[in-house]
Amino acid sequence: MPQLMVQNGKFIDYEDALVHVMSPAMKYGFSVFEGVRAYWNDRDNQLYVFRMRDHTDRLFQSMKLLRFQPTFDKDEIDRLTLELLRQNEIKSSGAVRVCAYVDGRGEQESRSPIGYVISATAKGRDTAIVEKGIRAQVSSWIRIADNSMPPRIKTAANYVNTSLARVQATHDGYGDAILLNQAGKVSEASGSTLFMVRRGKVVTPDLTSAVLESITRDTILQLAVQAGFEIEEREVEKTELYAAEEIFFCGSAAEVKPVIDVDGMIIGTGEPGPITRHLQNDYFAAVSGARADNKGWLTPVLTS
User: Rg of the chain over CA atoms, in angstroms?
Assistant: 19
Give pLDDT, residue 285: 97
Ordered strands of the 10-13 beta sheet: 10-13, 4-7, 114-122, 94-102, 31-41, 46-50, 298-300
The residue type found at 275 is: I
Residues of the chain with CATH 3.20.10.10: 128-288
- Residues in Cβ contact with 238 at an 8 Å cutoff, skipping those fewer than 6 apart: 138, 180, 184, 185, 186
- Whole-angstrom distance, CA of residue 185 vs CA of residue 180: 5
Which residues lie across from 120 on neighbouring strands?
Answer: 96
Q: Which of the 8 DSSP states describes residue 143?
A: P
**Residue among 275, 295, 297 at smallest CA distance from 287:** 297
pLDDT-flagged residues of the chain (< 50): none
SS3 36: strand
| 4-124 under CATH 3.30.470.10, yes or no | yes
**Whole-number pLDDT of residue 149:** 96
pTM confidence score: 0.96
Evaluate whether the domain defined by 128-288 bears CATH number 3.30.420.40: no
Residues forming CATH 3.30.470.10 domain(s) in the chain: 4-124
The predicted-structure confidence for 70-95, as pLDDT tens digits, reads as follows: 999 999 999 999 999 999 999 999 99
Which residue numbers are catalytic? 154
Residue 271 identity: E
Angle in degrees, CA 180, 185, 187, rounded to 5: 50
- Could you tell me if 189 and 249 are in contact, meaning their C-beta atoms sit under 8 angstroms apart? yes
Chain segment 151-165, per-residue pLDDT in tens: 999 999 999 999 999
Strands, E, within 237-301: which ranges?
246-251, 255-262, 265-266, 298-300
Q: What is the SS3 assignment for 20?
A: coil
Q: What is the pLDDT of residues 117-151, one digit of tens each?
A: 999 999 999 899 999 999 999 999 999 999 999 99
